[in-house]
Structure 1
Amino acid sequence: MKISERLAETIHTTVTCIPPCERPSDGQALSSRKLFVPPTDASLDAWSTLGNDGWNSDTFKEYYSKAFTLPKVDQSSRKVLGIDGYSLYNTPNGPHQLSYAGNPEHPVLEAWMTTFKNKGYHVSNDPFLGIPVGAFTSLSSVDPARKERSYATSAYYSLVKYRTNLEVLTNATVEKILFKDGHCTQAIGVQYRHGDNVKVVAASKEVILAAGVLQSPKLLELSGIGNKSILRSNSIETVQDLPCVGENLYDHPVCSISYEMVEGVETLDSDYTVGKTSLLISMGVDTYAYLPMPSAAYLSVLRQHPLPIDPNSDSPSGPIHGNFIALVATLSQPLSRGSVHITSNDPLAAPTIDPNYFSSEIGIEVYVRQMLYLDTIAKSSPFSKLLKQPLIPKKYLRTSAISMWHMGGTCAMLPEEKGGVVNPKLKVYGVDNLRIVDASAIPLISTANLQSTVYAFAEKAADLIKQDCRL
Structure 2
Amino acid sequence: MSGPQTYDVIIAGGGTAGCIVAGRLADADPSLTILVVEAGPPTRNDVLHLQPCRYLYHLRPESTTVRFHTSAKSDALGGREMVFPCGQCIGGGSSVNFAMYTRAAAVDYDEWAKVHGNSGWSAVELLPFLRKCESYEIEAGKETHGYSGPLKVSSGGFYTEVGKEFLDVAAEYDKTRGTTDDVNGLYECDKYGVTRPDPPVCRWISAETGKRSDIPHHYIYNAEHPNITLLDGFHVKRVIFEGTKAVGIEYVPNKRFRADVPFEVTTARAKRLVVVSAGAFGSPGILERSGVGQKNVLDRVGVAQVVDLPGLGEQYQDHQVIFVPYVAAPEIHTLDGVVTGDKLENDKWNKEWEEHGTGLIAHNGIDSGVKLRPTEKDLAAIGPAFRERWESYYAASPGKPVIWFGNAALQVHSTYELYLGDMSKYEGGKNFCVAWYLQHPASLGRLHITSASDPSAPLDFYGGFLDDPADLALHTWAYKLSREFARRMPCYRGELVGAHPVFAPAATPRAQAHDGPVPMDAPDLAYSAEDDRAVEEWVRATVMSAWHSMGTCAMKPRGKGGVVDSRLNVYGTEGLKVVDMSICPSNVAANTYSTAIVIGEKAAAMIAEELGIPFV
TM-score computed with the length of structure 1 as normaliser:
0.86
Higher mean alpha-carbon deviation, 298-307 vs 391-400, is at 391-400
Shift of the alpha carbon at 1:168?
Answer: 1.6
2:104 maps to a residue whose letter is P
Residue 301 of structure 2: aligned partner: 234
Letter of the structure 2 residue corresponding to residue 288 of structure 1: G
Confirm whether residue 432 of structure 1 aligns to residue 455 of structure 2.
Answer: no
**Which residue number in structure 2 is paired with residue 76 of structure 1?**
none
Is residue 89–residue 126 contact of structure 1 (8 Å, CA) maintained in 2? Answer: no
Q: Which one is further off, 265-274 or 450-459?
A: 265-274
Alpha-carbon deviation of 1:172?
A: 2.2
Distance verdict in 2 for CA 1:343–1:3, change over 3 Å: closer
1:329 Cα shift? 1.2
1:34 partnered with 2:99 = yes
Judging changes above 3 Å, is the alpha-carbon distance between structure 1 residues 141 and 417 closer, same or farther for their aligned structure 2 residues? same
Task: Tell me how far apart the structure 1 counterparts of residues 438 and 342 of structure 2 sit (CA, whole Å).
Answer: 33
1:257 and 1:350, CA in 2 relative to 1: closer, same or farther beyond 3 A? closer
1:65-464 aligned at under 5 Å gives the runs 65-71=131-137, 87-104=142-159, 106-118=160-172, 119=175, 120-125=177-182, 127-136=184-193, 137-163=200-226, 165-180=227-242, 184-193=243-252, 195-196=261-262, 197-270=264-337, 275=342, 283-293=364-374, 295-308=402-415, 318-348=425-455, 349-379=457-487, 384-391=489-496, 393-394=500-501, 395-464=537-606
TM-superposed deviation, 1:343: 1.1
Q: Hey, what's the Cα distance between the residues in 1 that align with 2:103 and 2:191?
A: 12
Measure, in 2, the Cα distance between the counterparts of 1:347 and 1:117. 54
Q: Secondary structure at the match of 1:319?
A: coil
Using a 3 Å threshold, how does the CA distance of structure 1 residues 274 and 38 change in structure 2: closer, same or farther?
closer
1:44 offset after TM fit, Å? Answer: 1.7
Q: Which amino acid aligns with 2:406?
A: L
Aligned mates of 2:450, 2:46 — CA distance in 1: 40
Q: Give the Å deviation of 1:217.
A: 0.3
Q: Distance in 1 between matches of 2:117 and 2:552?
A: 17
* Aligned-partner Cα distance in 2 for 1:191–1:208: 13
Counterpart code for 1:140: R
The alpha carbon displacement at 1:100 in A equals 1.4
Tell me by how many angstroms 1:215 deviates: 0.9
**CA distance in structure 2 between the partners assigned to 1:403 and 1:250 by the alignment:** 10
- State how far apart, in whole Å, the 2-side matches of 1:309 and 1:455 are: 27
- Distance apart, 1:155 and its partner CA: 0.9
Deviation string 1:337-373 (CA, Å, 9 cap, x unpaired) is 1111111212332322221211111221122112222
Instruction: Specify the SS of the correspondent of 1:30.
Output: helix
In structure 2, relative to structure 1, the CA distance for the partners of 1:161 and 1:442 (3 Å cut) is farther
Report the equivalent of 2:516. none
Deviations 1:422-467 (A, max 9, x none): 0000000111111000111112121131001110111111111122
SS at match of 2:602: helix
Q: Is the 8 A contact 1:134 1:289 kept in 2?
A: yes
* Partner SS, residue 108 of structure 1: helix
CA distance in 1, matches of 2:100, 2:123: 20
Q: How many angstroms apart in 1 are the aligned matches of 2:23 and 2:411?
A: 42
Note if contact 1:255-1:396 (Cα within 8 Å) is conserved in structure 2.
Answer: no
**Amino acid paired to 1:13:** I
2:596 is the alignment partner of 1:469? no
Partner of 2:117: 51
Displacement of 1:167 in angstroms is 1.5
In the aligned structure 2, how far is the partner of 1:335 from the partner of 1:235?
A: 33
Q: Shift of the alpha carbon at 1:28?
A: 5.7
Closer, same or farther: CA 3–274 of 1 in aligned 2, 3 Å: closer
Measured after TM superposition, the shift of residue 331 of structure 1 is 0.9
Distance change (3 Å), C-alpha of 1:161 and 1:249: farther
Counterpart residue identity of residue 24, structure 2: R
User: Does structure 1 residue 6 correspond to structure 2 residue 24?
Assistant: yes
Deviates more, 1:88-97 or 1:145-154: 88-97
- CA–CA distance in structure 2, aligned partners of residues 413 and 329 of structure 1: 28
- Using a 3 Å threshold, how does the CA distance of structure 1 residues 13 and 21 change in structure 2: closer, same or farther? closer
Alignment partners' CA distance in 2, 1:426 and 1:344: 26
Amino acid at match of 1:57: A
TM superposition shift of 1:93: 1.5
SS at match of 1:128: coil
Cα deviation digits, residues 74-96 of structure 1 (max 9, x gap): xxxxxxxxx79x84434431111
- Three-state SS of the structure 2 residue aligned to 1:127 is coil
Structure 2 CA distance for aligned equivalents of residues 301 and 396 of structure 1: 20
SS in 2 for 1:238: coil
SS for the counterpart of 1:231 is helix
Aligned-partner Cα distance in 2 for 1:465–1:91: 23
Distance 1:351 1:23, change over 3 A: closer
Residues 162, 367 of structure 2: 8 Å contact kept? no
* CA deviation after TM superposition for structure 1 residue 266, in Å: 3.1
Distance 1:203 1:158, change over 3 A: same
- Hey, what's the Cα distance between the residues in 1 that align with 2:413 and 2:342? 17
Quote the Cα distance in structure 1 between the aligned partners of 2:426 and 2:120.
Answer: 47
Q: Which secondary structure state, in structure 2, belongs to the residue aligned with residue 38 of structure 1?
A: coil
What displacement does 1:51 show?
Answer: 1.4
Cα contact 1:187–1:434 (8 A) shared by 2: yes
Q: Which residue of 1 aligns with 2:520?
A: none
3-state SS of 1:206 partner? strand
Distance (whole Å) between structure 1 residues aligned to residue 272 and residue 109 of structure 2: 30
Q: Distance in 2 between matches of 1:5 and 1:325?
A: 39
TM-score calculated relative to the size of structure 2: 0.67
Q: CA deviation at 1:379?
A: 4.6
Query: Contact (CA 8 Å) 1:68, 1:93: kept in 2 or not?
Result: yes
Aligned in 2, Cα 1:231/1:161: closer, same or farther, shift over 3 Å?
A: farther
RMSD (Å) for aligned C-alpha atoms = 2.8
